Chains A and B, each alone.
Chain A
Amino acid sequence: MNQKIAVQIDDLTVAYNYKPVLWDIDLTVPEGVLMAIVGPNGAGKSTLIKAILGIIKPIAGSISIYGKPYTKQRKLVAYVPQKGSVDWDFPTTALDVVMMGTYGSLGWIKRPGEKEKKIALESMEKVGMLPYKNRQISQLSGGQQQRVFLARALVQDASIYFMDEPFQGVDATTEIAIINILKELRKAGKTVIVVHHDLQTVPEYFDWVTFLNVKKIATGPVKDIFNDDNLTKTYGINYKVAVNK
Chain B
Amino acid sequence: MSNPQIEIQLIAAVVAMACAIPGVFLVLRKMALISDAISHSILPGIVIGFFITQDLNSPLLILLAALFGVITVVMVEAIQKTGLVKEDTAIGLVFPVLFSVGVILIAKNASDVHLDIDAVLLGELAFAPFDRLIVTGADWGPKSLWIMGSILLLTLSLLVLFFKELKVSTFDAGLSSALGISPVIMHYGLMSVSSITVVGAFDAVGAILVVALMIAPAATAYLLTEDLKKMIGLSLLFGVVSAISGYWAANFLDASISGSIATTLGVIFLMIYLFAPKRGLISVLYRQKQQRIEVSLITFLLHLNRHEEESERHINHLQEHINWRAVRARTVLNLAEKNNLVQITNNVVSLTEKGLAFTEKSLAYIINNRDEKIEPMKEDFFLFRG
Residue of A74, A85, A104, A143 touching B172 (CB-CB under 8 A): A85
Residue of B30, B178, B226 touching A54 (CB-CB under 8 A): B178
Q: Mark B330-356, 1 if CB is under 8 A from A, else 0.
A: 000000000000000000000000000
- Measured in the bound complex, the distance between the Cα atoms of B181 and A106 in whole Å is 11
- Measured in the bound complex, the distance between the Cα atoms of B178 and A54 in whole Å is 7
Hey, which chain B residues are within 8 Å of A2, CB to CB?
A: none
Q: Which chain A residue has the least Cβ–Cβ distance from B375?
A: A131
Q: Is the interface of B mostly helix, strand, loop or mixed?
A: helix
User: Is B171 a contact partner of A77 (Cβ separation < 8 A)?
Assistant: no
A93 beta carbon closer than 8 Å to chain B: yes
Hey, which chain B residues are within 8 Å of A173, CB to CB?
A: 370
User: Is B177 a contact partner of A87 (Cβ separation < 8 A)?
Assistant: no
Residue of B170, B174, B231, B370 touching A171 (CB-CB under 8 A): B370
- Measured in the bound complex, the distance between the Cα atoms of B228 and A91 in whole Å is 5
Residue of B162, B177, B181, B227 touching A55 (CB-CB under 8 A): B177
User: Is B175 a contact partner of A79 (Cβ separation < 8 A)?
Assistant: yes
User: Is A112 a contact partner of B178 (Cβ separation < 8 A)?
Assistant: no
User: Is B370 a contact partner of A143 (Cβ separation < 8 A)?
Assistant: yes
Q: Give the Cβ gap from A245 to chain B, nearest Cβ, in Å.
A: 36
Q: Which chain B residue has the least Cβ–Cβ distance from A46?
A: B174
- Tell me the A101-141 residues at the B interface (CB within 8 Å): 103-104, 106-109, 111-112, 128, 131-132, 136, 141
Q: Mark A70-84, 1 if CB is under 8 A from B, else 0.
A: 010010010101000
Q: Give the Cβ gap from B261 to chain A, nearest Cβ, in Å.
A: 25
Hey, which chain A residues are within 8 Å of B172, CB to CB?
A: 81, 85-86, 100
User: Is A50 a contact partner of B231 (Cβ separation < 8 A)?
Assistant: no
A12 beta carbon closer than 8 Å to chain B: no
If A53-B177, A55-B174, A136-B226 touch, whether A103 touches B372 (CB-CB below 8 Å) is no
If A91-B225, A136-B226 touch, whether A112 touches B164 (CB-CB below 8 Å) is yes
Hey, which chain A residues are within 8 Å of B165, CB to CB?
A: 103, 108-109
User: Is A53 a contact partner of B163 (Cβ separation < 8 A)?
Assistant: no
Residue of A17, A79, A97 touching B178 (CB-CB under 8 A): A79
Q: Which chain A residue has the least Cβ–Cβ distance from B162?
A: A109
Hey, which chain B residues are within 8 Å of A74, CB to CB?
A: 178-180
Hey, which chain B residues are within 8 Å of A107, CB to CB?
A: 180
Q: Give the Cβ gap from A79 to chain B, nearest Cβ, in Å.
A: 5
User: Is A92 a contact partner of B174 (Cβ separation < 8 A)?
Assistant: no
Hey, which chain A residues are within 8 Å of B164, CB to CB?
A: 100, 103, 106, 111-112
User: Is A100 a contact partner of B372 (Cβ separation < 8 A)?
Assistant: no
User: Is B163 a contact partner of A111 (Cβ separation < 8 A)?
Assistant: yes
Q: Mark B11-37, 1 if CB is under 8 A from A, else 0.
A: 000000000000000001010000000
Q: Give the Cβ gap from B102 to chain A, nearest Cβ, in Å.
A: 32
Q: Mark B213-228, 1 if CB is under 8 A from A, else 0.
A: 0000000001001111
- Measured in the bound complex, the distance between the Cα atoms of B167 and A104 in whole Å is 13
- Measured in the bound complex, the distance between the Cα atoms of B236 and A105 in whole Å is 31
Hey, which chain A residues are within 8 Å of B135, CB to CB?
A: none
B81 beta carbon closer than 8 Å to chain A: yes
User: Is B162 a contact partner of A92 (Cβ separation < 8 A)?
Assistant: no
- Measured in the bound complex, the distance between the Cα atoms of B279 and A52 in whole Å is 40
Q: Which chain A residue has the least Cβ–Cβ distance from B376?
A: A131
User: Is B178 a contact partner of A91 (Cβ separation < 8 A)?
Assistant: no
- Measured in the bound complex, the distance between the Cα atoms of B171 and A231 in whole Å is 37
User: Is A87 a contact partner of B171 (Cβ separation < 8 A)?
Assistant: yes
User: Is A90 a contact partner of B174 (Cβ separation < 8 A)?
Assistant: no
Hey, which chain B residues are within 8 Å of A97, CB to CB?
A: 171
User: Is A91 a contact partner of B226 (Cβ separation < 8 A)?
Assistant: yes
Q: Which chain A residue has the least Cβ–Cβ distance from B24?
A: A91
Hey, which chain A residues are within 8 Å of B372, CB to CB?
A: 128, 131-132
If A85-B172, A100-B171, A128-B372 touch, whether A54 touches B227 (CB-CB below 8 Å) is no
Hey, which chain A residues are within 8 Å of B225, CB to CB?
A: 91
User: Is B175 a contact partner of A100 (Cβ separation < 8 A)?
Assistant: yes
If A90-B28, A91-B227, A109-B162 touch, whether A104 touches B179 (CB-CB below 8 Å) is yes
User: Is A108 a contact partner of B226 (Cβ separation < 8 A)?
Assistant: no
- Measured in the bound complex, the distance between the Cα atoms of B372 and A111 in whole Å is 31
B386 beta carbon closer than 8 Å to chain A: no
B83 beta carbon closer than 8 Å to chain A: yes
Q: Give the Cβ gap from A126 to chain B, nearest Cβ, in Å.
A: 14
B120 beta carbon closer than 8 Å to chain A: no
- Measured in the bound complex, the distance between the Cα atoms of B228 and A136 in whole Å is 11
Q: Mark A200-218, 1 if CB is under 8 A from B, else 0.
A: 0000000000000000000
User: Is B178 a contact partner of A53 (Cβ separation < 8 A)?
Assistant: yes
If A104-B180, A143-B370 touch, whether A81 touches B170 (CB-CB below 8 Å) is no
Can you sample 15 A-B contacts with CB below 8 Å?
A50-B174, A54-B178, A79-B178, A87-B30, A91-B28, A92-B227, A93-B226, A93-B227, A97-B171, A100-B168, A100-B175, A103-B164, A103-B179, A107-B180, A143-B370
Going nearest first, the 9 A-B pairs with the smallest beta carbon separation are A104-B179, A136-B226, A86-B172, A79-B178, A53-B178, A74-B180, A81-B174, A90-B171, A131-B372
Residues of A with Cβ closer than 8 Å to B? Answer: 17, 50, 53-55, 71, 74, 77, 79, 81, 85-87, 90-93, 97, 100, 103-104, 106-109, 111-112, 128, 131-132, 136, 141, 143, 152, 171, 173
